[in-house]
Amino acid sequence: MKRIFLSALGILSLIQLHAQSASDSSGYKSKKLTLDEVNLVSSYYNQTGNNAAVTGGIGSEKLNDISNIIDVKFIRYDKKNRRHILDAALGIDHYTSASSDLIDLKANSSASHADTRIYPDISYSVENETKGTTIGAGLSASSEFDYKSFGGNITVAKKTNDKNGEFTAKVQVYLDKVSLVLPVELRPVTSGRENNYPTTARNTYAASLSYSQIINQNLQVAFFADFIQQQGYLSLPFHRVYFKDGSVHQENLPNTRSKLPLAVRANYFLGDNIILKAYYRFYTDNWGLTAHTANIEMPVKITPFFSVSPFYRFYTQTAIKYFGKYQTQSATNVYHSSNYDLSAFNSNFLGAGFKFNPLKGVFGLKHFNSLEIRYGHYAKNNQMNANIISLNIKYK
């Protein structure tokens, strides 16, 4: 992680030297594509628990994940004074997982105990500030050992005449390939290469609508509605399910799933130094899962250059119709899973962010104008616990 982080800092330093002259002219609207903002986010995630889906709902869920993302935004204005925004990002995650290692029950540090995921994405949008309209499109990809994904999206937005409200519509498509890596005892006997796994499709289609409104100088609200349709292979092939008779089987879930999340967000400014951010989300799907999320965050400006943002999130969900614990399902159940992410549970996520905006820039570098460190502790009521710490450095 240290090597990747320092390399990214080096990239940001080169970007600063290259783009400093363009950034200093803050009042000038460049007709050429100009660097506007760079964000570097690094995080470390650690998890423990005893309900691993790979071993049928029992066993270690220990997992460590290191993530690094660099996001770069460029802006230019055309002859009609429309703002063009090009946003490109690259993420790299590396994880080690005790449960994934047990896809092969005989293994210690097998090939599946660790993996690296690479996920680039790029988007381009055009905003007509006079008419209050925006149109944009984007492409994304993700690649790891047993999963490949390719996505695309189109977004349109329109502000109200007084510019205090904005309606946004977005459609997204993800076309994925899942490698059928079975538990070792369920694999057919073949004479071919062991790592030559067949693949199958999983496709996701999503339509999103949102409306944001400035009520007054203190209150802003936004409403969100999504409809998501999935089809294809929606199980994970290496998740085991142990039946009542002790026999072991693959997880088997329906090949379609419809999801409906609805959400509302409100930000209230309590004077110049405190913001109260509240969020609620309702979710339901045709697998029988219903969930509620409530989140509150309160950024407090301690000094002009330092703020603290404590946050808390409560989450609760019901189980899908096809979930069963270890050795509770039978052959009469066509669909079955022992994945505790699909079980009934409550969770709490508590932490804080610490944001620094030094007058002379982070590390004395003028255009590195903010550094934020966030820490959160996550706990489910089934004894799964996790900690995450992240670092975000912004160049502007």
Tens of pLDDT, residue by residue over 148-205, are: 999 999 999 999 999 999 999 999 999 999 999 999 888 887 644 556 789 999 999 9
pLDDT digits (tens, 9 = 90+) for 40-85: 999 999 999 999 999 999 999 999 999 999 999 999 999 989 999 9
Lowest mean pLDDT among 3-12, 176-185, 328-337, 354-363: 3-12
Burial class (CB in 10 A: 0-12, 13-18, 19+), 299: middle
pLDDT in tens, 223-234: 999 999 999 999
CA 291 from chain centre, in angstroms, equals 18
Assign domain 2-23+31-395 to a CATH class: mainly beta
Q: Classify 228 as helix, strand or coil.
A: strand
Cβ(87)–Cβ(126) below 8 Å: no
Mean pLDDT within 18-32? 57
Q: Averaged over 258-285, what is the pLDDT?
A: 96
Structure tokens at 245: 């008779």
Q: Does residue 23 surpass a pLDDT of 50?
A: no
pLDDT value for 192: 46
User: With 90 as the cut, is the pLDDT of residue 348 above it?
Assistant: yes
Extents of the domains making up the chain: 2-23+31-395
Rounded to 5 degrees, φ, ψ at 78 are -95, -175
Query: With contact defined as beta carbons under 8 Å apart, do 19 and 55 qualify?
Result: no
Cβ(243)–Cβ(327) under 8 Å?
Answer: yes
3 pLDDT above the threshold of 70: no
165 Cβ contact list (under 8 Å, min separation 6)? 159, 211, 212, 213, 214
Q: Cα(24)–Cα(319) distance, rounded to whole angstroms?
A: 55
- Classify each residue of 269-292 as buried b or exposed e, where b means 16 or more C-beta atoms within 10 Å of its C-beta: eeeeeebebebebebebebebeee
On average, the pLDDT of the chain sits at 90
In the chain, pLDDT over 90 holds for what percent of residues? 77
Among the residue ranges 182-196, 244-258, 334-348, the one predicted with the least confidence is: 182-196
